[in-house]
């Protein structure tokens, strides 16, 4: 790989030198560059005009092929309350961009082809037209203002963490390279915390003197009851991370030295999400690929791959170091009862400290 890159760099360097020498050549005395072959003739213009047309056709074919070929990689329906509006906004923006670029690119390349250079043909000198300029200014202003306003209202609504009644308060704690989650316990209030308190079993720095922190519970899996609003407080131990929960359309920077917030309501349990038509198809397709790959591996004397099963995940979406790619935590959305059952199995901070002393 390294050898290939070195060869590639050397090749690009030679091409750059060659291009520079051509530019130097062009900059020399005008007589030298007007020699036959340096000035475009009708055949050249005709060819270049057609290239413009071929280029735009190839671009559209590639674009449509990508949309069809990469369909599997689109995110499935959102599993959070605000997700549907977020998706509509994204869809509308994409449709507007697609329609506008389709028309403008088509016109740009078609005119370049249609009015390609011909001997004796002269371009029309057309200074300005107030009405035309008004139209092509007013339309983008109205469309963009609409999109921005809708986006702004959606943003304000999604980002308002105080709008919920009785939300579950949870802390997501990022470090190189993993996540911890802290539940606020019976009082639903997180105790004070600071990385300076990290010591022994106090792995995420909860203030041992703060009474609110005594019933806090630190866990390695994020369990959420379905249909209850959750307010997330994010803290980082070391560098900038980003908490990304794609299925809930949620992402927030996790910044050392400050607490950032985001809230959403999960609306689909993990089990229900797994049994959607989209997900069953996707999972069986992935497992088919794994079966084929396993055959090859076993033939070569290696261990076969595990069966894939879908889970919601919290991922890190900022390149934060060597193992960034593996910085993830499983999310389980379940019924209120299952959630309460699971919560009972977790250890409070008070107990953790007491156990550490014994």
Binding of Cu ion by 314 (CB under 5 A)? no
Q: Is the dihedral of CA 349, 225, 228, 251 positive or negative?
A: positive
Q: Residues 301-316, buried b or exposed e (16+ Cβ, 10 A)? A: eeeeeeeeebebebbb
User: What is the token pair recorded at 308?
Assistant: 């894939």
Span interacting with Cu ion, options 83-91, 116-124, 265-273, 311-319, rule CB under 5 A: 311-319
Residue 327 contacts Cu ion per CB under 5 A? yes
Cβ-in-10-Å burial (0-12, 13-18, 19+) of 127 comes to: exposed
Secondary element (H or E) of residue 95? helix 83-114
By CB under 5 A, the residues from 81 to 140 that bind Cu ion are none
CB of 300 to Cu ion, least distance (A): 34
Residue 211 is classified by DSSP as G
Minimum CB separation of residue 242 from Cu ion in Å reads 7
Please say which residue, 227 or 328, places its beta carbon nearer to Cu ion: 328
241 binds Cu ion (CB under 5 A): yes
Q: Whose Cβ is closer to Cu ion: residue 203's or residue 353's?
A: 203
- Taking the least distance from each CB to Cu ion, the nearer of 109 and 318 is 318
C-beta of residue 237 within 8 angstroms of C-beta of residue 204:
yes
**Closest CB to Cu ion among residues 56, 254:** 254
In DSSP notation, 244-259 reads EEGGGTEEEEE-BTS-
* Residue 249 interacting with Cu ion (CB under 5 A): no
329 binds Cu ion (CB under 5 A): no
Residue span binding Cu ion (CB under 5 A) among the ranges 87-95, 204-212, 298-306, 313-321: 313-321
With CB under 5 A as the contact rule, which of the stretches 102-110, 133-141, 199-207, 323-331 interacts with Cu ion?
Answer: 323-331
Closer by beta carbon to Cu ion, 164 or else 324: 324
| Total residues binding Cu ion (CB under 5 A) | 4
How much of the chain is helix, strand and coil, in % rounded to 5? 50, 20, 30
Q: Look up residue 195 and give its two tokens.
A: 């990385």
Supply the minimum distance, in Å, between the C-beta of residue 318 and Cu ion: 6
Residue whose C-alpha is closest to residue 217's, from 311, 353, 327, 334: 353
Stretch that binds Cu ion, among 13-21, 142-150, 193-201, 321-329 (CB under 5 A): 321-329
Q: For residues 330 and 134, what is the distance between their CA atoms, to the nearest angstrom?
A: 54
Which of these segments, 37-45, 53-61, 263-271, 326-334, binds Cu ion (CB under 5 A)?
Answer: 326-334
Does the protein bind Cu ion through residue 190 (CB under 5 A)?
no
Q: Which of 245, 320, 329, 331 binds Cu ion (CB under 5 A)?
A: 320
* Least distance in angstroms from the C-beta of 91 to Cu ion: 29
- State yes or no: residue 316 binds Cu ion (CB under 5 A): yes
DSSP per-residue string spanning 120-164 = T---------HHHHHHHHHHHHHHHHHHHHHHHHHHHHHH-TTSS
CB of 245 to Cu ion, least distance (A): 14
- Considering the complex, state which of residue 229 and residue 321 has its C-beta at the smaller distance from Cu ion: 321
Residue 181 CB, nearest approach to Cu ion (Å) = 15
By beta-carbon proximity to Cu ion, the closer residue of 190 and 329 is 329
If the CB atoms of residues 133 and 238 are measured against Cu ion, the closer one turns out to be 238
- DSSP for 327-339 reads -EEEEEEE-HHHH
Interactions with Cu ion, residue window 4-63 (CB under 5 A): none
First-last CA distance in the chain:
54
Is residue 203 within 8 Å of residue 218, measured between CB atoms? Answer: yes
The residues, any chain, with a CB within 8 Å of residue 191's CB and separated by 6 or more, are 206, 207, 210, 211, 212, 213, 214, 216, 349
Cα R_g (the chain), whole angstroms: 30
Closer by beta carbon to Cu ion, 226 or else 314 = 314
The residue ranges that bind Cu ion (CB under 5 A) are 241, 316, 320, 327
């Amino acid at each position: 790989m390294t050898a290939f890159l070195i060869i590639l760099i050397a090749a690009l360097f030679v091409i750059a030198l060659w291009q520079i020498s051509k530019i130097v050549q062009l900059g020399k005395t005008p007589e030298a560059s007007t020699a036959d072959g340096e000035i475009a003739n009708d055949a050249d213009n005709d060819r270049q005009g057609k290239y413009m047309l071929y280029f735009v056709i190839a671009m559209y074919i590639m674009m449509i092929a990508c949309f069809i070929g990469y369909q599997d990689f689109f995110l499935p329906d959102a599993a959070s309350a605000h997700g549907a509006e977020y998706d509509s906004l994204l869809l509308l923006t994409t449709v507007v961009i697609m329609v506008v670029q389709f028309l403008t690119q088509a016109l740009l390349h078609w005119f370049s082809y249609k009015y390609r250079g011909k001997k004796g043909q002269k371009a029309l000198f057309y200074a300005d037209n107030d009405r035309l300029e008004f139209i092509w200014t007013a339309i983008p202003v109205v469309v963009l203002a609409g999109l921005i306003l809708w986006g702004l209202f959606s943003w304000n609504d999604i980002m308002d963490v105080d709008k919920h009644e009785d939300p579950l308060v949870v802390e997501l704690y990022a470090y190189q390279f993993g996540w911890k989650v802290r539940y606020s316990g019976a009082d639903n209030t997180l105790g004070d915390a600071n990385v300076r308190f990290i010591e022994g079993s106090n792995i995420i720095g909860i203030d041992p003197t703060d009474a609110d922190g005594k019933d806090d519970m630190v866990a390695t899996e994020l369990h959420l009851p379905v249909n209850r609003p959750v307010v997330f407080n994010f803290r980082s131990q070391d560098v900038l991370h980003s908490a990304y929960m794609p299925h809930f359309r949620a992402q927030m920077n996790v910044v050392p030295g400050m607490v950032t917030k985001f809230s959403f309501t999960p609306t689909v349990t993990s089990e229900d999400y797994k049994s959607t038509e989209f997900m069953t198809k996707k999972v069986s397709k992935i497992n088919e690929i794994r079966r084929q790959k396993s055959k090859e591996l076993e033939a070569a004397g290696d261990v076969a791959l595990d069966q894939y099963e879908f889970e919601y995940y919290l991922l890190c979406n900022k390149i934060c170091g060597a193992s960034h790619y593996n910085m993830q935590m499983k999310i389980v959305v379940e019924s209120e009862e299952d959630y309460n059952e699971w919560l009972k199995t977790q250890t409070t901070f008070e107990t953790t400290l007491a156990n550490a002393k014994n």
